[in-house]
Amino acid sequence: MSWHDVFRRDLRSVYRSRTGTAVAAILALSTVVAVGLFALAEDTAVLGGIGALLTIVVLLALVFVGSPRSIALTVVAFTVVAVGLTFLVAGLRPAEAAQPEMQLAVVSVGSALSFLLPLVALVGSYAALVGERETGSVRFLLGLPNSRVDAYAGKYLSRSAVVLVPLAVGLALTAVVVGLTFANGSVLGILGLTAVSIPYALLFVGIGLSASAYADTSNRSVAVVIAAFVVFRVGWPAIQLLGLQGMEEPYPRPEWFFWVGRLNPINAYVKLTTLFAEFEYGHPLVSTPGGRFGPLPAGETAVNTIATSHWFAAVVLLAWTLLAPIAGLLYFRDRDIL
């Protein structure tokens, strides 16, 4: 088998299981539905309650709806209804009512994806290789004339497609919603957000596939990807904050704080999302050189470092995206797995 054969075989396998449809469900609901709610809800407490209710409904659907086809149809129907209701309620909104700003769309979608994309990418890829070992089909996967590089490349491309296709569809619909219902909504802005979300998703597909190449069992692969997510999401910021202990004046943050923080690919991704809306005081999820989400107090000077620039964030994100799958490939190529 060539990598083309591995790609087609694995893609069929994923969509016959619940993995592909679960990924599509989560991504669809985190983009179109989230933006629709932000466009309509004036009270953030109401928004949080509706979002929590929708999350419970989705989880119940994934557990109790039978076949992958049924789940896919449920997701499509729910998305269509959500988009339709968004346009209906937006059309009934009084003319004098204020429309939400583009910044709100970028913050809501970018923040949701910064959390959800790693999860769905890791879920969609952690069992790609170790699952073949557990079922015994790894001998077929590596059968002549297929090489390990072909097998790895086919798996990487198929699992990437599982994540990127629903992501692209969801954000395309989001672009339509934002363009038509937000005050200064930009379709191009959401398309730009899609462009920076693609390498971010591929990074965690690469981490999941590398974990699958390393692990002997699915349970160990799950443990590795959970550990990776916790390190990026919790451990890395904790190290930054521990480094500030003992400082008499933690504001403005010292320069090393930004160098350490912006090497985290999650921070790099969130920083890049700020390219697509006006952020006078920075993104609420990323520390600003002034150390606060807002203008600097009188007489205080912000730290000026290239670590806080957009181009540095782009370099960091692309570097992680390239290195993650390559690390797994180098290990998988020489490992005794038969």
C-alpha to C-alpha distance for 277 and 258, rounded to whole angstroms:
22
C-alpha to C-alpha distance for 282 and 274, rounded to whole angstroms:
8
Domain that holds residue 281: 3-334
pLDDT value at 290 more than 60? no
- Is 1 in a helix, a strand, or coil? coil
Contacts of 113 (CB under 8 A, 6+ apart): 30, 31, 197, 200
Model-level pTM?
0.83
- Is the CB of residue 251 less than 8 Å from the CB of residue 292? yes
Q: What is the mean pLDDT of the chain?
A: 77
- Report pLDDT for 237: 86
C-alpha to C-alpha distance for 182 and 180, rounded to whole angstroms:
6
Question: Taking Cα atoms as reference points, which of 194, 218, 55 lies closest to residue 117?
Answer: 194
Token pair of 3, please?
């990598």
- Select the more confidently predicted residue: 333 or 315: 315
| Number of domains, the chain | 1
Phi, psi at 277, each rounded to 5°: -160, 165
- Report pLDDT for 175: 85
Instruction: Express each pLDDT in 44-61 by its tens digit.
Output: 455 555 555 665 565 566
Question: Taking Cα atoms as reference points, which of 113, 157, 153, 116 lies closest to residue 14?
Answer: 157
- Report pLDDT for 143: 67
Instruction: Express each pLDDT in 69-92 by its tens digit.
Output: 666 666 666 667 666 766 666 666
- Is the CB of residue 174 less than 8 Å from the CB of residue 31? yes
- Is the CB of residue 303 less than 8 Å from the CB of residue 262? no
Contacts within 8 Å (CB) and 24+ apart, 248-253? 250/291, 251/290, 251/291, 251/292, 251/300, 252/289, 252/290, 252/291, 252/296, 252/300, 252/301, 252/302, 252/303, 253/287, 253/289, 253/291, 253/303
